[in-house]
Amino acid sequence: MKESLSANELYIYINEKLSKELTLYSQIIFFEENGLLTFSNWLNGQGWNRELKLSAKKANKYEPVIKLLCLREIRSLLIKKQLYTLRKKQLGKLVQETLASSQSESFKIVFNENSTWSELLDQCCNMIIAEFNIEVPSKLCNDEDPESIKGWLNRWLTSPHFQKYKYFIESIDDDKEKNKAIDLAISMLKRQLHQDHVKRVYYSIIMYHQRLEEGITELRSISDPLHLSEEEYKFLTLLIKIKHTETPSILHQVIERLIVRKTRSHYVQAVAYINILRRFYDGNSSQFQEYLIILKNKFSRYSSFIKELEEHGSY
């Protein structure tokens, strides 16, 4: 495991490593009479470390984080299968038992080290508090007023919704406090952009507040632009509409990422974006033609793309 992972990347890494086992245990929990006990034994016996392969020292140190993450993912899997309400009470009891078996000091050590692990622990703690109304040891070191802006955002983050956010943010009269709240909300959401519903809310918020630079940075990291979410597509469309100065460079990047996917649907979309890109070269057609030559040379072996470009390029 790389030491330089962000909290978001660490979450994805652990979830991917444990995906098969957690999926299996979500089925065991629901369908077997002693399913929760079986899962509890795996969880508290560090069965997860067979896949994560942490050293004994790290496994013991970060056990609270991994336990809460596993409980969080089990809950998510049960919700997806529409089985959660039937096991919510039992799972809540397991959460309490898991926390009771953990030493508060172990939570404090991780929480106070100010690392990606502590960020991940904080995220998991917020979910546990909101969903099960259970006190988590780490919060003993990070006590906050539940009526404060951060307190509201922490509860909201467990199930973020744009309209709820909008009502809350507009209720803040002080402009300085409002801007702080906007910055904090965006920062908190960015940690969980691996979740589709969080991504939708994130783009809705940055468009609402015209925080376009935030979205541009995230848009550049998308590997397959053919499968943009509705909000990502709206954001890109907005950048094209207002002719933002960064739009041409984003389109250059999007076009090349589509081409290398090597499917006709990707080629069709790439050519559509090339036709849009032409508008940004108005008054400098020679520069646009130079761009096309460079693009064709770079992807000269992609014969199907070249054919699509020649047949449907509007230039």
Largest CA distance in the chain: 72
Going by C-alpha positions, the residue among 183, 250, 260, 182 that lies closest to residue 219 is 250
Q: Which residues of 115-139 are buried (b: 16+ CB within 10 A; e: fewer)?
A: ebbbbbbbbbbbbbbebbeeebbbb
Q: What DSSP state is assigned to residue 278? A: G
Q: What's residue 132's pLDDT?
A: 66
* Residues 71 and 98: beta-carbon distance below 8 Å: yes
Q: What's residue 219's pLDDT?
A: 85
Dist CA 235 CA 210 (whole Å) = 10
Q: What's residue 146's pLDDT?
A: 47
pLDDT digits (tens, 9 = 90+) for 55-105: 888 888 888 889 888 988 888 888 887 777 778 788 888 888 777 766 667
Dist CA 75 CA 71 (whole Å) = 6
Angle at 249 between CA 247 and CA 252, to 5 degrees: 110
pTM, whole model, 2 decimals? 0.54
- Percent of the chain that is helix, strand, coil (3-state, to 5): 75, 0, 25
Q: What's residue 136's pLDDT?
A: 60
Q: What's residue 154's pLDDT?
A: 82
Q: What is the mean pLDDT of each run of 10 residues along the chain (315 residues)?
A: 68 88 90 87 90 89 87 84 80 79 72 78 72 57 58 83 90 88 88 82 92 86 82 90 89 91 90 88 78 89 89 70
Please enumerate in sequence order all residues whose Cβ is within 8 A of that of 181, keeping only pairs 6 or more positions apart, or say none.
149, 153, 168, 169, 172
